[in-house]
Structure 1
């Protein structure tokens, strides 16, 4: 059985009942097929038609949030004479969605997330959602079937948040969170987009605290979205000292005013010796280093800035994990390296709690939201 949509679709007809639905979305993979079929995130093209299998949910899209690494790549590609060509960025995003049936940047491999309203729920959906719920998806757009119907006409291509009309499909094993009533939906979207970072930092620092160790935590990109939340989470979980690393003076001033870090240092996260020296000058090396910047080349600098026996958490989609592993080996660095996969049980609740309870975090997010609305925000994570 499927839940039908009354709106005609130009997509080629196919018998939904010819294949059993998969809770991880295999039934939506159009390319590759046969023995080469893969999970939706790695697929070249997904079936984004609005008709539902029994365990799926359809979301009427309100806003897409492109992840920082993806937007930075697109904006950089379409920058002319120092100015981003927003129309060209918009056209490329539309082409990606139309071609792939999802928003997955072919260069970075990443996507983002979205907010919208539940439009239809299959009778066997395990997600606990109801028609009319306002939700944020907590799974990447890189694996979410997506169709855009308005040509993104309300988006100027100059920010990560994209007003949009269309629909998206959640599988039986997807994740979504109901939007809170006490926060602006676009603010909540910003927070939930990076909610995996503070939750994992809280877990890791909590592990140190459980052993009677109060660690020094350095966050690269500490003035950004995931960075500011990570600093707040580290302090709340028992860090002895927090160090925020930022690349420019403007961000240093912002982070120092916030009080989220015990020390704020100016350093290029891509400079091995420069980063290590900056972190050491602020009380390092760090027991826990959190990489939240969306530029490549931060792997070995992060290793050098971390104490032997320490932990590095990579939250950037720009991370080259081969460079991280081989770099640690080449430097004879005894460090534990964790991939921030974006999901920790209770991650949305953790991030929203920090925004509610730490005024400095909320101020940073509201300031960033205002800047994005005016088209002047950067694209750090």
Structure 2
């Protein structure tokens, strides 16, 4: 008997959900409420890819070998160091008669659940991937459960572009919700909502900036670590201000945000893929404000204890990747905000 959350696919240890499992059963035969996807491309999450690339000194062949090894050993793509995975696109191969996902064979889809909980097998040794970018062309299969989420790929966008956007679609949706709620609560309309996005030139960061502006933010600042990213973000026109700072330096980060906005941010969104940014994000946020962590490199213990040590009265949210309507919102921003699309296309071209 199958479980809607995939418990029947857990091989070890027993009693945990698929995301926490050490190994999953990735056999292709499906249960009555499962769906099998013929995989075309993986998108490794940024923190996972950075860790693997740095570990192997940028040696793409070594990165490819380790990704293959992880999938073979675990039955899923679950980086044991970062604890993160990514997502995939492919074509629906078979649908169980009791599946509630409203998919049919032949649909081209993006999975909106993490590879860390998705049974996965590859059969081409990742021969089409050089290990030098986050997107991984491949052949294989993946299994979706009754409680999984998938989106049919839009016909008007290249699959690789859709994959890159849908990989981070939770970030703009939660940013829009938080900013929109704060704007609605503000009684003094002269005190507009200010938003800082750490890592504003990246995928999730650029979408978060666009979402904040659409939700009514009065002023936004994108924080980036190097001049090249500053120039790209300025050209995209997604932020009112762009500041240079190392997000791992708490004092410098807070100073950069306050210098750009004239005060600490009401909402700070962390979208960087390196560890050690928690204290700076807290310090850059005004009392009564909100910090949204959208990085799998975040130490949530460091964030909580750091806020306590700073006597910071801030609300801290974990971006869990799912907000109702998140895929549609992200794709609409890509279509309607030229700066978002230009940054995504440039990133894909570089990869």
User: Is the structural similarity TM-score above 0.5?
Assistant: yes
The Cα of 1:162 is off from its aligned counterpart by 0.2
The equivalent of 2:152 in structure 1 is 178
> Distance between the aligned counterparts of 1:129 and 1:170, measured in 2?
11
Secondary structure of the residue aligned to 2:19 is coil
The Cα of 1:297 is off from its aligned counterpart by 0.5
The equivalent of 1:303 in structure 2 is 282
The equivalent of 2:142 in structure 1 is 168
The Cα of 1:209 is off from its aligned counterpart by 1.4
> Distance between the aligned counterparts of 2:23 and 2:167, measured in 1?
23
> Distance between the aligned counterparts of 2:140 and 2:233, measured in 1?
37
Deviations 1:310-367 (A, max 9, x none): 0000000000000000100110000000000000000000000000110110111111
Superposed counterparts of 1:182-331, under 5 Å = 182-212=156-186, 214-283=192-261, 284-331=263-310
Secondary structure of the residue aligned to 1:162 is strand
Query: Residue 72 in 1 paired to residue 50 in 2?
Result: yes
Query: Residue 38 in 1 paired to residue 37 in 2?
Result: no
Secondary structure of the residue aligned to 1:169 is strand
> Distance between the aligned counterparts of 2:65 and 2:236, measured in 1?
38
> Distance between the aligned counterparts of 1:92 and 1:258, measured in 2?
36
The Cα of 1:150 is off from its aligned counterpart by 0.2
The equivalent of 1:376 in structure 2 is none
Structure 2 segments unaligned to the other structure (5+ residues): none
> Distance between the aligned counterparts of 1:139 and 1:27, measured in 2?
18
> Distance between the aligned counterparts of 1:199 and 1:345, measured in 2?
8
> Distance between the aligned counterparts of 2:202 and 2:36, measured in 1?
31
Structure 1 segments unaligned to the other structure (5+ residues): 1-19, 373-381
The equivalent of 1:349 in structure 2 is 328
> Distance between the aligned counterparts of 1:171 and 1:257, measured in 2?
42
The Cα of 1:210 is off from its aligned counterpart by 1.1
Query: Residue 29 in 1 paired to residue 10 in 2?
Result: yes
The Cα of 1:290 is off from its aligned counterpart by 0.2
> Distance between the aligned counterparts of 1:237 and 1:139, measured in 2?
25
The equivalent of 1:112 in structure 2 is 86
Using structure 2 for the length normalisation, give the TM-score. 0.98
